[in-house]
Structure 1
Amino acid sequence: MSTSTPAPPRHPALTRRLSTAAFVSFFAIAVIEFAVPFVAVATLGANAMVVAVLGVCRFAPQVLFARAATVAVNRYDQRTVMLASEWLRVLAFALSAVALFASPIVGFAVFALANLSLGLGSILTAVAVQVLVPLAFEDAELPRVYSRLGMAESLADGGGPFFAGIALAMFDVSGTFVVAAVLAAGACLLLGGMPRTRVAEPVEPGRTGDRSSLRHGIRVNFGTQALGLLTGWALAYNLGQCVIEAMLLIAILDRTSIGAASYGVIKTCAVLCAALGAYLATRLPGKLTGGWGISLFGFGAIGSYLLLGIGLYAPGAAGVAFIVAGFALDELCSGVVLVLISTFRARAISNQDRAAATAGYRAMNLTAVPVGFLLGGVLGLVLSPSVTIVAVGAAMLLFGLVIWKPQVRSVATA
C-alpha cells in the first residue's frame, strides 16, 4: 500500500467537523461523569452502594445493548444514529438539571437514568464512528482521522473534570447540568452537517442474520491471529489496569508523599500525554507506523504499570518519579497505540462486519472493567495493595510480550 502523499478525504470538512463534535460531546460527558457521583455524595448523601449502582448504570448498557447498537448502525445511516445518541444525552442532562428540586430518591433515580443514557449513547456513538470513518475517508487518511479523534477525547477527558469543579462552584448543580445539555446540543448541530453514510448490504445472504449477533462480533475480533492477539492484549490491559486502579490511590497515599492536590495534577498531566501520543501517532518514523509501532507502544502501555509498583517501594523523590513516569508512559503509549490499532482494525475488518466487531470488542473490554475492579477489591483485602500492584504489574508486563509476536509486528497501518 502506498505511503506517498495522502489522498484527500471524500468530505474535506468532515475531519474537522467530526473531531470538533467529538470534543464537545466528550467534554459534556466528562463534566457529567465528574458531577453525578460528586453531587450524589456531597449533596444527596449517597453511600458507596449508590455510587456503585451509578457506575453500573454507566457501563452496563454498553454491554447489554451491544447487539441493539449493531442492528441500529447497520440499519440506519451513521448521522441519524449519532444524532439520536446525542439527543439522548441532551434529554438526560436536562432532566438532571431539575432532579434536585424533588426528593433525594427522585434525584438518584434521575442520575441513574442519566448514566444509563450516557452508556447507551456511548455504545451507539462508538459503533457508528468506527463504521463511518472507513466509509467516509480515503484509506491514507485513516491515521490522521483517528489521531484527531484520539486527541479530542483525551483533551476532553482532561478538561472536563476541571471545568465541572469550577461550574459546580459558579453555576450550582442545576446550572452545571444545563451547561452539559447545551454542550451536547452543540454537538448535535455539528453532527447535523455530516453525510448520511450507510453500510452496504452484505453480499452473502446466508450470513445476513448472523452479522448483527454479539457472538459473531466477538468471533470477528479473533478472526485472524493479529486481530486475536490485539484483542487479547486489550483485554489484559483493561483487566489489569482496573485491578490496579481499585487500590492504587490507597497505596499511593499510604506509601508516598503524594497528596490529593498533587495526585490531581499528576493525573491531569498524564491525560495530556495521551493527547500528545495521539498527535505523534501520525508523525512517527515509517517503520513505527505499522506493526513495530503497535508492538513497541502497546508493550510500553501495558508495562507501565510495573513502574507504578516500583514507585511504591522506591524511597522519597525516586518513588514519586517512578509513579509520575508510569502514568505518563501509560497515557503516551496508549495515545499512540490506539490510533495505530484503530487504523489496522479499520483495514482488517470488512464494512459488513465492522459494526458487530466494534460492539463485541467494546462489550468484552467493558466487561473486563467491573471484573477488574471487583478482583482488585478482593485482592486488596487479602494482600496489601502495594504487593498486589507489583504482582499485577509484573503479570501485565509478561502478558504484554504477546504483542511482540511476528503476526503483530508484520501488520501494516501506514
Structure 2
Amino acid sequence: MTQRTKMEKVPEIGIQDDPSLLKQPKAVWAVFFAGIIAFMGLGLVDPILPAIANQLNATQSEVSLLFTSYNAVMALAMLVTGIITSRIGIKRTLLAGTVIIAVFSALGGASSGVWEIIGMRGGWGLGNALFVATALTAIVTLSKSGNGKAVILYEAAVGLGISVGPLLGGWLGAMSWRGPFFGVAVLMVIAFIFLFTVMPKTAGQSANASKKTSLADPFRALKHRSLLVFGMSAALYNFGFFTLLAYAPFVLGLDEHGLGFVFLGWGILLAFTSVFMAPKLEQRVGTVKSMCWMLVLFGVLLAIMGIFTSTQWLLIACVIVAGALLGNNNTLITTAVMNATDVERSTASAAYSFLRFIGGAIAPFLAGKLAEIFNPHVPFIVGAVFVFLAASVIVWNKRHIRHVDIAERAA
C-alpha cells in the first residue's frame, strides 16, 4: 500500500517541481531581457575589428588586445563578484555592472587611439564581470524550473544577444567604427532602466544573504576536483572560441555588413542549439559525453579552417556551423558547473569563470601574434590543439565528474 501511494505521488511531484521554462517570476524575465542587451556588446564590436586596425593604423595583435584586456579584467573581477554581491545584493550588483559598461563603452567610442580603446575595454570587462556572474546566479536562484532549465534560459539570453549584436554592429560600424561603442552605451542605459523598474530590490535574496563571502572562497571552491576540471577545460576551450571570434574577422575578407551577417548566422545557431538541442543531448547522450563530442567536433572545424584559410566560402560556412557546436557546449558546460559541487552557486560561478576567461584573455593576442610571425593558417591550428586538449581534460578526469549526469537526471 505504501509503495503504491509513493508511485501515485511521483507524477504530482514532478509537475510541481518542474514547471515550464516559460513560467518564471517577473524578476527572472527582467534579468533575461537585460542579459540580451548586455550580451549584444560582445558581438556588436566584432564586425569593426578590421576597420579599427585600418583607421587607427594598428596591427592585428594590437586590435586583438581589445578582447585580451576585456577578458583579463573580467577573469580577475570574477573573483570579487561574490564579495560585492553578498554585501550590496544582486539587484545593485547588476545595476552597477550596467552603469560601468555604459560609461566605458561610451569612453571607448570617444577614444582617439587603439591603446585608449584597449584601456576602456578593460573597464568594460569589469562591468561585464559584475553583470554576467550575477545574472547567472540570479536566474538560477530565482527560477522555479530547476538548474537545468534556468541555465537554458541564461544561455538563450546569451545566444540572442550575441546573434543580434553583430548585425547591429555591422550596420553601425559601416557608418563609423565608433558607432557600436556608443550603441552599447545606449543599450546598457535601457538595460539599467529595465532592471531598476522591474526587478524587486530583494529579488534573489535568501536566508543566507547575510553571509559575507571572501576573496579566498573561489580558490577554496577550486579544491573540488570536478569544478577544477570544468574550469581547466573551459580555459582551454576558450582558446578556440576567442580565436574564432577575434581572429576570423581579419581573414574572412568581408566589410562590416558582411561580417555582421556571417556572425548573425553564427549567433542564431548558437542561440538555437543552446536552448533546443543541448537539453536533448543531455537527456539522450549525457552531459559529459555530449560535451566531449562537441569539443572534438569544434577542434576538427578549427583544423579545417586552418588548412583552408584562403577558401573564403568554406571559412564562412565553418564560422556559421561553429555556432551550433559552441551553443551546445556552452549550455552543457554551464549546466555541469551548476551541478558539479554543493558550493554556493555564486562562488562556483566565480571560480569557474575566473579560469574560463583566462583562456579568453590569452587567445586573441596569441592568435594575432601567430599570424604576424608565421602565417594566417597557424592561429586556427593552434586553437584546434587547445580545444582537443580541453576534450582530453574531460576524458582523463571522467571518474571525477560522472556524478554530474546523475545530478542532472535527478533535477
Pairwise CA distance, 1:278: 1.3
Please say if 1:190 is aligned against 2:194: yes
**Alpha-carbon contact 2:270-2:324 (below 8 Å) kept:** yes
For 1:236-247, list aligned pairs within 5 A.
236-242=236-242
For 1:175-254, list aligned pairs within 5 A.
177-192=181-196, 193-195=198-200, 196=202, 197-198=204-205, 200-201=207-208, 211-213=213-215, 215-224=216-225, 226-242=226-242
**Alpha-carbon contact 1:74-1:355 (below 8 Å) kept:** no
With structure 1 as the length reference, what TM-score do the two structures score?
A: 0.75
In structure 2, distance between residues paired with 1:391 and 1:47: 20
After superposition, the C-alpha distances for 1:336-378 in whole angstroms (9 at most, x for unaligned) are 2322332343344446x43333223222222223433455456
In structure 1, distance between residues paired with 2:296 and 2:61: 30
Pairwise CA distance, 1:398: 6.0
Aligned residue for 1:123? 129
- The one-letter amino acid paired with 1:132 is A
In structure 1, list runs of 5 or more residues that go unmatched: none
For 1:10-409, list aligned pairs within 5 A.
12-28=25-41, 30-32=43-45, 40-41=52-53, 43-46=55-58, 51=63, 54-96=66-108, 99=110, 104=112, 109=116, 111-112=117-118, 114-138=120-144, 140-169=145-174, 177-192=181-196, 193-195=198-200, 196=202, 197-198=204-205, 200-201=207-208, 211-213=213-215, 215-224=216-225, 226-242=226-242, 259-260=253-254, 265-281=261-277, 284=280, 287-288=283-284, 292-310=286-304, 313=307, 326-328=318-320, 330-350=322-342, 353-376=344-367, 386=377, 389-390=380-381, 393=384, 396-397=387-388, 399-404=390-395, 405-409=398-402
In structure 2, list runs of 5 or more residues that go unmatched: 1-9
SS of aligned partner of 1:198? coil
With structure 2 as the length reference, what TM-score do the two structures score?
A: 0.76
- The one-letter amino acid paired with 1:19 is F
- The one-letter amino acid paired with 2:232 is G
Cα distance 1:327–1:299, how it changes in 2: closer, same or farther (>3 A)? farther
**Alpha-carbon contact 1:77-1:199 (below 8 Å) kept:** no
Alignment length, in residue pairs?
Answer: 387
Identity of aligned residues (%): 19
- The one-letter amino acid paired with 1:136 is L
In structure 1, distance between residues paired with 2:157 and 2:392: 30
Provide the alpha-carbon RMSD of the alignment.
4.1
In structure 1, distance between residues paired with 2:278 and 2:390: 27
In structure 2, distance between residues paired with 1:174 and 1:360: 34
Greater CA deviation, 231-240 or 241-250?
Answer: 241-250
SS of aligned partner of 2:214? coil
Greater CA deviation, 124-133 or 70-79?
Answer: 124-133
After superposition, the C-alpha distances for 1:12-67 in whole angstroms (9 at most, x for unaligned) are 223332221111222245435655x5675455545557535544432332133333
SS of aligned partner of 1:284? helix
After superposition, the C-alpha distances for 1:47-95 in whole angstroms (9 at most, x for unaligned) are 5575355444323321333333231012121011001111122333444
Pairwise CA distance, 1:295: 1.9
After superposition, the C-alpha distances for 1:252-311 in whole angstroms (9 at most, x for unaligned) are x5xxxx7536776544322221111112147517733xx713422443234322233246
Cα distance 1:42–1:406, how it changes in 2: closer, same or farther (>3 A)? same
